Chains A and B, each alone.
Chain A
């Protein structure tokens, strides 16, 4: 019951945020639902009059439904920016299919004899629609709205990825931080909302058709009111920040930064990690979190704000390996160590830039680098049944490049076969894959190993003092002791957290370091 206690404690501490997110969530869902009904029902009605179009329109709405929500948001960002608009549009698109389809099915399900009799009696088309078809189709139509609502409550969690708020902020923060309590803190209210909405609508559905018409009209009044919840004023400030969920939640992220630099008056929204750079580039936000070697820093003319008080711990990259693999293939270790110290911050940023921005394949970038350093050797011919080394990577460019480098080195210098498992969702997934033996190695960062995986006491952290060498030694020692995993020597670059601003704005405001940012906000 520890989790429950922690959960209640989390809610108590974050009560304000929980309330705000819940209201946002309801507002988002209601606004999107209203638009979906206003758009979907007439469209469905139109389709019943023009059945030739039905397969095309329903097919298109069906395809929309199959687009992964994250991908859909990804498509919408360039068109609509970040914030409420893309979130509502995405929700609307997801809600459309059940509403259109059930409108069509409901109207088509009306007994043709009833419609013919009504027409024969002298009802006009409009009267047939209002008095016969709509009331009789209403139960089916309503079931569609109900489906759309439940889908909407679920998809609305993703709104957090585009800075539109909602309960997704807790959920994705929790996932990024591997913090089940935080995930539950968002997921439970979201589930409760879905159940509550569904139950309320189910109750309405049991009403008679004639009462349902009145309720339908009532809903059309109520939904915009709920939608307004979303527009409750948010705190404003001189600069707007957009942070990834992980950064907002983890101890060495925003919380420690706020303590050290007093960035209290920096209103922030939560964004998908993949979107923060875009948001900064398009001036949707001014300050973002990022990684100091990210290729987009160069591509988008961003500037790293100097961490002059050394708040962010060092994040030196190094391969973490299963010792059994090293013992089984003694030739492997010297090959892997060929990369040690080869990659400086600027070199890594340049390589990332090639992949992230110039869209060169990670493999080509990796091999070109090895050639320049004289490390490239053509892959050996594989003997059948050769032993396999499995390389894992997290889901961003730098890791892809590093894995390709190791793969090329191993293929050129050993008789081992290489299998890559790239795009593993995050730190925890890579780490668990390595522990279970699903992969044999992956590139990790000392700071991540320390903060996310080992999670030492504050006293231990203080004793390490953010010194790169001390952190590496500690991480290497503890991984051996606790998990029986081996850290090889670091590659050279420090891909730590950084706050970034657009170069031009930073220059205009005279902000070059985090202290200067704190002073500017405090004025």
Chain B
């Protein structure tokens, strides 16, 4: 696919890394435009974490190049490079002897920012991440829950406002409820809106929820690079097809939106009060939720009955996708 943007935020070409005889990453290339979210997806041991760590030189490649904003990363001292790139890992890795505020302030201090500016920034970030500074700034990491620690980890990565953020399974260690909540917060976080993000996960649903594009890896090799919809409906290899097989229906419902099925609805205007990018899955959830907690239920409801027409339209939309694929 020809690159339209003149200068991608990250350009990787021919990246290869061996550990002994084992090729962890083999000849991987991609370009990531600024502001996009790329998810590195694949089974455990597929090389996605190694690939991520080569972006900020925590791992040095055997072959290939990484360019950040058009500049080869090897032209910079690794520490300076890393100070300009946010980094979040699954185990969070907060400094246990630093308070929450001191943890958030690590990179701005390394960069020599003014103390007053650092304090203001820390205050702002903690507030945005639902950690009221007056309660949490002076606490130590062991006094926080897992979800709170991960929020501090995120705040720390964002403290110096880096244009690029790398995240290695950031929600992997959290329980399902917390994970869903933090993921939603993450998606809606103002701070991340215009960042270039590379996120590693092995959770397919997470990848579909967060990705602009997905890079699916197996045994260190790129299986497919594309939008979630492309991977789902136009799998490049058998591996890609099999990889999504177990959750196919779920993913299809999350991927197709009201806009996609609108042409197939008997009454095309039935859902017009709802945002057109609402997924079929979200629409079904709102329609079946008796607790009325869903924000969609605050909007004008479609005229009943809609469940059956919705499902029929979904089926036809799917057939269209598959017909197009063939």
- Using a CB–CB cutoff of 8 Å, the interface residues on chain A facing chain B are 111, 113-124, 127, 131-132, 135-136, 208-210
Contact = CB atoms under 8 A, between A and B. Distances in A.
A113 B89 contact: yes
Contact of A116 (B58, B79, B157): B58
Contact of B106 (A115, A121, A210): A121
Given A135-B97, A136-B97, A209-B97, A117 B82 contact: no
B58 A119 contact: yes
Given A123-B79, A124-B79, A116 B97 contact: no
Contacts of A122: 79-84, 107, 110
B94 A117 contact: yes
B115 interface: no
Nearest to B93: A117
B262 interface: no
B11 interface: no
A119 B82 contact: yes
B107 to A, nearest CB: 5
A209 to B, nearest CB: 5
A111 B79 contact: no
A124 B156 CA distance: 17
A115 B87 CA distance: 13
Contact of B97 (A117, A121, A210): A210
Given A121-B106, A122-B107, A132 B95 contact: yes
Given A114-B95, A121-B83, 4 more contacts: A114-B94, A117-B91, A127-B110, A132-B95
B96 interface: yes
Of A121, A127, A132, A136, most buried by chain B (CB within 10 Å of CB) is A121
B174 to A, nearest CB: 15
A113 B91 contact: yes
Main secondary structure of the interface of B (DSSP, over half): mixed
B16 interface: no
B122 interface: no
A120 B87 CA distance: 6
A295 to B, nearest CB: 64
A120 B97 contact: no
A116 B80 contact: no
Interface residues of B, number: 24
A136 B56 CA distance: 25
Nearest to A131: B95
A117 B92 contact: yes
A118 B97 contact: no
A123 B110 contact: yes
Given A116-B58, A121-B110, A123-B110, A111 B93 contact: yes
A120 B95 contact: no
A20 to B, nearest CB: 43
A117 B89 contact: yes
A419 B107 CA distance: 78
B89 A116 contact: yes
12 contacts: A114-B95, A116-B58, A116-B93, A117-B92, A118-B95, A119-B82, A122-B80, A122-B110, A123-B106, A123-B110, A135-B97, A209-B97
Nearest to B82: A122
Contacts of A117: 87, 89, 91-95, 153
Contacts of A208: 97
A120 B94 contact: no
Nearest to A210: B97
Of B80, B93, B96, B166, most buried by chain A (CB within 10 Å of CB) is B93
Interface string B66-85: 00000000000001111110
A210 B82 CA distance: 26
Contacts of B153: 117
Given A113-B93, A114-B96, A209-B97, A120 B58 contact: yes
Contacts of B84: 122
Nearest to A208: B97
Contacts of B82: 119-122
Nearest to B153: A117
B60 to A, nearest CB: 13
Nearest to B141: A114
A136 B96 CA distance: 8
Interface in B166-208: 166
Nearest to A117: B93
A482 B157 CA distance: 88
A121 B156 contact: yes
Nearest to A138: B97
Closest 7 CB pairs between A and B? A117-B93, A113-B91, A122-B83, A120-B87, A122-B82, A113-B93, A114-B93
